[in-house]
Amino acid sequence: MSIDPNTLPDGTVVETNNGALFFKDGDGRQFSRLELGDGCPFEWDDRTIVRTYTPDPTPDQEVPRDEWANIKPGSRVRIVEVDGDEHTVTVDYVSPAADVVWLYDEDHDYDGAKIARVYLLDAPTPPDPDAEAVEVMARAAYDTLPHALPWDDRGDMIRDPYRREARAVLVALREHTAALKVMLADACWRCSDGDGATCDPCLSELVAAAERDAEARTVMTHLRGMFDPMTGRPAGGGW
C-alpha cells in the first residue's frame, strides 16, 4: 500500500519502496531539509511512499475536546483512539455535532466519542492577503531592468529577492500611511486644544486673517507716506 504524497505536509520524512529516505517538498522530494522550498524538487519517478516518519506530538499540541470542532480543514492531526490506536491524518471535514467526526478521505472517518486525544501537528497556512500586490510590485521592479529572460520564465530563486524587496516597500508604505492617518485624526490644535494638524475651517480662517493683516500693513505703509505722523497733516506741507 502506497501513501499519496499530496496528503503529506512539506518537510515530512518519507521512506520509498526502494528503502531510501527523502523529504517531501511540494510535488516532489528533496535529499536535504536545507533544500526545502528552493522550487526545484526532484520528481518521484517510479518511487512510491511506503512509510512516513513524524515526530511524537508534544503536550502543548494537544487540542482540548471542546475545541475539536474548531480544527480547520487541511490541518494535520494525530488522533489517539480510546483503544490506543493512533492515526496521523489530514482533516478534510469536521462535523459540528457533539460527537465530532473527522473525515480525512473517502473511506475513513473517526467518531469523537471513540477518540481519547487529538494533537494538532500542522495547521493550514492562511492565504497571504498581500501575495497579489507583492507579485505585481516585484514583476514591475524586475521589468525596470534589462534581463535576458522575462519574469514568467524565471524561477523562484530569481524572483524571491524582488518579492522580498516589494514586501519591504509595502510595509514601509503602510507605516507611513498609518502615521499620516494618526496625524490627521488628532484634534486640531487651534479649536480643540489638541496637537494635531490644523483643521480645514481653522486653516481657512487663519489664511483670511493673514490676508487682512497683509492688506492692512500695505494701507498703513501708504498712509505713512502721505501724512506727517507727528501732526497728522499731509506730508510735505501744511494747511
Tell me the per-residue pLDDT of 136-156, one tens digit each, with 9 for 90 and over. Answer: 989 998 998 888 889 988 888
- The reply to whether 113 and 63 lie within a common domain is yes
The rounded distance, in Å, linking the Cα atoms of 109 and 92 is 10
pLDDT range class, residue 25, cuts 50, 70, 90? confident
Sequence-ordered alpha helix ranges (H) in 190-231: 200-226
- Give the Cα separation of 2 and 21 in Å (integer): 15
Q: Are residues 178 and 135 in the same domain?
A: yes
Residues 66 and 95 in one domain: yes
47, 92: one domain: no
Mean pLDDT of 88-106: 68
pLDDT of the residue at 101? 65
Confidence of residue 222 (pLDDT cuts 50, 70, 90): low
Report the pLDDT value the prediction gives residue 29, as an integer from 0 to 100: 92
3-class secondary-structure state, position 187: coil
Give the pLDDT score at 22.
92
Residues 180 and 218 in one domain: no
Q: What is the mean pLDDT of residues 60-89?
A: 84
Do 44 and 65 share a domain, yes or no? no
Alpha-carbon distance 89 to 80, whole Å? Answer: 11
Residue 79: what pLDDT? 85
- Closest by Cα among 38, 49, 37, 50 to 10: 37
Task: Give pLDDT, residue 239.
Answer: 38
User: In 3D, which of 42, 1, 2 has the Cα closest to residue 22?
Assistant: 42
pLDDT of 30 above 50: yes
Q: Confidence class of residue 21 from pLDDT cuts 50, 70 and 90?
A: very high
**Mean pLDDT, the chain, as a whole number?**
77
Residues 115 and 92 in one domain: yes
pLDDT tier at 230 (50, 70, 90 boundaries)?
Answer: low
Say if 107 falls within a structural domain.
Answer: yes
Is residue 15, in this structure, part of any structural domain at all? yes
Number of domains in the chain: 4
191, part of any domain: no
Range of the domain at 235: 198-239
Residue 229 pLDDT greater than 60, yes or no: no
Whether 99 and 149 map to the same domain: the answer is no
pLDDT at 238: 43
193 belongs to a structural domain: no
In angstroms, the CA 68 to CA 91 distance is 11
